């Protein structure tokens, strides 16, 4: 009797143990090695798994805290908000999704921009937040990025961009697509004024953001394991019925094919950017 | 309608860096007069179907009707010749222009050869080579856009699809020569805008220009690709809405029933549209023209302040 009951318990336990890995994994559980961390442990390790080196996603404000000298960041254009130019409604209205994202993230849209110093080197920062509607680029992201370029020109500092995006924001239709040429034109103006763009691609940087400003850095860096593909792996697999290589679209593959200057681990990112800022700085 | 708002605003506004506005005002008023009512969901879906119609004229159908002495330029000088994007030299009403256009295939064999008009990075690199040639020799660039999108494949990603699209836009933003783009069928997302950053962007009456295909949008937001009609009605890829939103500069009329009903007449209308747009920008100083081109994109988007 007791042994039979024991077997049943084991079965139930194993079922319960399997479920989380198939469905929702706790955000603080490492998908690489299964280690679990308290949030403050992850903050301290820059959200890099101390066991296996997996890079967890980083929200925009935390990223700024990781990169900028303490207290140096001064946010710009925080007041900009998305409008609903199309009156877009899928299963829910766009305005409702926006309001929900703002409450959930505490951000006005999917990018945070401003002035900062990194190891005392002045720069402008444009940091995306994937938690705000998948880091999608609509009119506000495009406008804030363009203003960050102009602000960098006005202050004669380089612009450091950290991207994390699923692509253009469908709910803004063709205007979302127009943010590609808009940010590209802003970079052209920046470059003509002698400014520099350092672009850091983090997981994931796909679609319209990869096909515009993220790819146009004077120097392009990526974090280890970051997906950076124009079309996502699922779309590619469905359209082409090709078997995807294991490292499809990842930073490592992109580095091998010559699309990146370097893959930089998160603890190395701040000193690397500081080095580059010094190299691009006026003597 | 937003175009009307834009028009009233433009009346009292100084353009960025002192660019002149009088030409644009007249042009907008003309276009506005033609738009009688906002397209309905049915009108939008009809445009989606006409834009993809199997008999719709493609780039080379227009090339043979509009350009004299067309000479095709092949290859990206790096690794391939992408047949989904055609580039070449030809004469348009007496001047040499560089033509860049997507080309779908008419039958299955040609469609396979042309990859259904979906370019690899090699195609955009060929386009950039043609743009550089145009700039060197002072030839205007005319692009005809007709693609479901840039090709989503393993090799395309490995060869740098995203970076190629970004760089192609940057190349167009840098050009000193006049640039005219016309969406003649499907203006599919990044693969379209890669060759559509121009002084004047035109759109045929039944072409579509969109951030994602109706099926793709439906699959993501409705979780059902069969809801494509609803998706199209929601994101409004038709020419009238693109004009209203300030994304294009003018609509090129098509023969009754769509361009495929009378390709010769469609080509005449297209030629007229391209020449009109070209004449507007040809007289500008090259630096001023480029400044205005960038200023136009700089203000695209609609947002508010909290």
The tokens for B9 are 């605003």
CA distances from B190 to A97, A113, B40, B136, B237 (A): 24, 25, 26, 26, 14
The answer to whether B267 faces chain A, any CB pair under 8 Å, is no
Q: Which residues contact A138 (CB under 8 A, 6 or more apart)?
A: A82, A109, A168, A169, A171, A172, A175, A176, A179, B301
- The predicted pLDDT at position B36 comes to 60
Predicted confidence band of residue B2 (pLDDT cuts 50, 70, 90): low
Give yes or no for residue A18 having a pLDDT over 50. Answer: no
Contact A184 B169 (CB under 8 A): yes
* Interval A113-136 mean pLDDT: 98
| Percent of chain B residues topping a pLDDT of 70 | 88
Q: Which residues pair with A89 in a beta bridge?
A: A93
- C-alpha closest to that of A235 among A164, A134, A166, A137: A166
* Mutant choice from A91, A111, A176, A181 vs B, greatest count of B C-beta within 10 A: A181
CA distances from A174 to A15, B110, B236, B301 (A): 46, 30, 8, 9
B140-178 confidence digits (pLDDT tens): 999 999 999 999 999 999 999 999 999 999 999 999 999
* Interval B105-117 mean pLDDT: 95
Radius of gyration of chain B (CA): 18
The answer to whether B245 faces chain A, any CB pair under 8 Å, is yes
- The predicted pLDDT at position B219 comes to 87
**CA end-to-end distance (rounded Å), chain A:** 82
The answer to whether B167 faces chain A, any CB pair under 8 Å, is yes
Give yes or no for residue B39 having a pLDDT over 60. Answer: yes
**What are the domain boundaries of chain A?**
56-280
Classified as helix, coil or strand, B214 is: helix
Measured between beta carbons, which residues in chain A are less than 8 angstroms from residue B220?
170
Phi then psi for B177, rounded to 5 degrees?
Answer: -80, 160
Minimum distance, in Å, between the CA of residue A82 and any CA atom of chain B: 5
- The predicted pLDDT at position A25 comes to 83
ipTM > 0.90 for the complex:
yes
Distance CA A25, CA A36 (A): 10
- Within 10 angstroms of residue A99's Cβ, the number of other Cβ atoms is 12
- Geometric angle at alpha carbon A158, from A154 and A164, rounded to 5°: 115
The tokens for B291 are 């400044």
Phi then psi for B95, rounded to 5 degrees?
Answer: -110, 150
The answer to whether B301 faces chain A, any CB pair under 8 Å, is yes
Measured between beta carbons, which residues in chain B are less than 8 angstroms from residue A180?
165-166, 169, 190, 193
Give yes or no for residue B14 having a pLDDT over 60. Answer: no
Distance CA B220, CA B210 (A): 15
Contacts with B, A 186-225, CB within 8 Å:
186-189, 206-208, 210-216
Q: Which residues contact A17 (CB under 8 A, 6 or more apart)?
A: none
The tokens for B2 are 């937003």
Distance CA B244, CA B210 (A): 14
The tokens for B31 are 């276009």
At the topology level, CATH places domain A56-280 in 2-enoyl-CoA Hydratase; Chain A, domain 1 (3.90.226)
CA distances from B82 to A90, B111, B127, B175, B192 (A): 37, 13, 10, 23, 15
The answer to whether B214 faces chain A, any CB pair under 8 Å, is no
In b/e form, how buried is each residue of A197-231, taking b as 16+ CB within 10 angstroms? bbbbbbbbbbbbbbbbbbbbbbbbbbbbbbbbbbb
Measured between beta carbons, which residues in chain B are less than 8 angstroms from residue A146?
298
* Interval A90-115 mean pLDDT: 95
- The predicted pLDDT at position B72 comes to 98
- Return the CATH number of the domain spanning residue range B77-298: 3.90.226.10
- Sign, CA dihedral B165-B259-B31-B63, equals positive
Q: Chain B residue closest to A140 (CA)?
A: B303
B204-234 confidence digits (pLDDT tens): 999 999 999 999 899 888 888 889 999 999 9
Contact B294 A189 (CB under 8 A): yes
- C-alpha closest to that of B245 among A111, A101, A184, A138: A138
Measured between beta carbons, which residues in chain A are less than 8 angstroms from residue B236?
86, 173-174
The tokens for B207 are 């072409």
**CA-CA-CA-CA dihedral for A169, A171, A177, A181, to nearest 10:** -70
Pick from B162, B221, B304: CB nearest A90 = B221
Contact A175 B156 (CB under 8 A): no
State the pTM of this model. Answer: 0.92
Distance CA B232, CA B210 (A): 9
Give yes or no for residue B121 having a pLDDT over 60. Answer: yes
- The predicted pLDDT at position A15 comes to 43
Contacts with B, A 75-104, CB within 8 Å:
79-83, 85-86, 88-91
- The predicted pLDDT at position A9 comes to 46
Q: Is residue B280 within 8 Å of B273, Cβ to Cβ? A: no
Distance CA A162, CA A144 (A): 13
Q: Are strands A121-128 and A111-118 parallel, antiparallel or unpaired?
A: antiparallel
The answer to whether B125 faces chain A, any CB pair under 8 Å, is no
Give yes or no for residue A205 having a pLDDT over 90. Answer: yes
Within chain A, where are the H helices?
Answer: 2-22, 39-44, 60-67, 94-105, 139-155, 173-177, 179-192, 207-210, 233-240, 251-256, 266-280
Q: Is residue A251 within 8 Å of A229, Cβ to Cβ? A: no
- Per DSSP, B39 falls in state P
Q: Which residues pair with B91 in a beta bridge?
A: B68, B96
Pick from A80, A170, A215: CB nearest B211 = A170
């Amino acid at each position: 009797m007791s042994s039979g009951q024991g077997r049943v318990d084991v079965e139930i336990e194993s079922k319960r143990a399997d479920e989380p890995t198939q469905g929702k994994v706790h955000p603080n559980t490492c998908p690489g090695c299964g280690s679990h961390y308290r949030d403050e442990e992850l903050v301290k390790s820059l959200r890099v798994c101390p066991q296996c080196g997996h890079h967890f996603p980083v929200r925009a404000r935390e990223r700024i805290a990781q990169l900028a000298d303490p207290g140096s960041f001064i946010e710009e254009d925080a007041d900009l908000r998305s409008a609903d130019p199309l009156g877009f409604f899928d299963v829910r209205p766009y305005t409702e999704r926006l309001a929900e994202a703002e409450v959930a993230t505490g951000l006005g849209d999917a990018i945070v921009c401003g002035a900062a110093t990194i190891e005392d080197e002045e720069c402008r920062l444009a940091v995306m937040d994937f938690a705000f509607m998948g880091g999608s680029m609509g009119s506000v992201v495009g406008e804030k990025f363009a203003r960050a370029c102009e602000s960098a020109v006005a202050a004669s500092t380089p612009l450091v961009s950290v991207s994390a995006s699923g692509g253009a924001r469908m709910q803004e239709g063709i205007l979302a697509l127009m943010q590609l040429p808009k940010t590209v034109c802003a970079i052209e103006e920046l470059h003509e004024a002698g400014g520099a763009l350092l672009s850091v691609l983090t997981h994931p940087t796909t679609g319209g953001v990869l096909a515009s400003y993220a790819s146009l850095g004077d120097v392009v860096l990526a974090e280890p394991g970051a997906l950076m593909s124009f079309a996502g792996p699922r779309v590619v697999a469905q359209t082409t019925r090709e078997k995807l290589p294991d490292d499809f679209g990842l930073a490592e593959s992109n580095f091998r094919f010559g699309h990146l200057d370097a893959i930089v681990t998160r603890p190395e990112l701040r000193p690397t950017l500081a080095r580059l800022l010094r190299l691009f700085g006026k003597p | 309608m937003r175009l009307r708002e834009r028009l009233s605003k433009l009346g009292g506004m100084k353009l960025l860096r002192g660019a002149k506005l009088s030409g644009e005002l007249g042009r907008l008023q003309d276009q506005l007069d033609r738009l009688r009512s906002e397209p309905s969901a049915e009108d939008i879906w009809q445009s989606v179907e006409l834009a993809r119609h199997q008999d719709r004229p493609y780039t080379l159908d227009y090339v043979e009707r509009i350009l004299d002495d067309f000479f095709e330029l092949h290859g990206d000088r790096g690794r391939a010749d992408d047949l989904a994007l055609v580039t070449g030299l030809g004469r348009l009403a007496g001047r040499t222009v560089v033509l860049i256009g997507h080309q779908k295939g008419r039958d299955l064999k040609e469609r396979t050869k042309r990859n259904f008009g979906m370019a690899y990075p090699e195609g955009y690199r060929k386009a950039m080579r043609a743009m550089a040639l145009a700039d060197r020799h002072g030839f205007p660039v005319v692009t005809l856009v007709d693609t479901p999108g840039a090709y989503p494949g393993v090799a395309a990603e490995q060869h740098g699809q995203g970076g190629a699209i970004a760089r192609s836009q940057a190349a167009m933003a840098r050009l000193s020569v006049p640039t005219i783009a016309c969406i003649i069928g499907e203006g599919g997302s990044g693969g379209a805008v890669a060759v559509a950053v121009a002084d004047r962007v035109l759109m045929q009456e039944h072409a579509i220009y969109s951030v994602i295909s109706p099926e793709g949008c439906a699959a993501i937001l409705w979780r059902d690709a069969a809801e494509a009609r609803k998706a199209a009605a929601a994101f409004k890829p038709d020419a009238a809405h693109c004009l209203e939103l300030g994304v294009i500069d003018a609509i090129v009329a098509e023969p009754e029933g769509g361009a495929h009903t009378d390709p010769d007449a469609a080509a005449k209308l297209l030629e007229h549209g391209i020449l009109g747009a070209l004449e507007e920008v040809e007289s500008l100083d090259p630096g001023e023209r480029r400044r205005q081109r960038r200023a136009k994109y700089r203000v695209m988007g609609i947002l508010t302040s909290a």
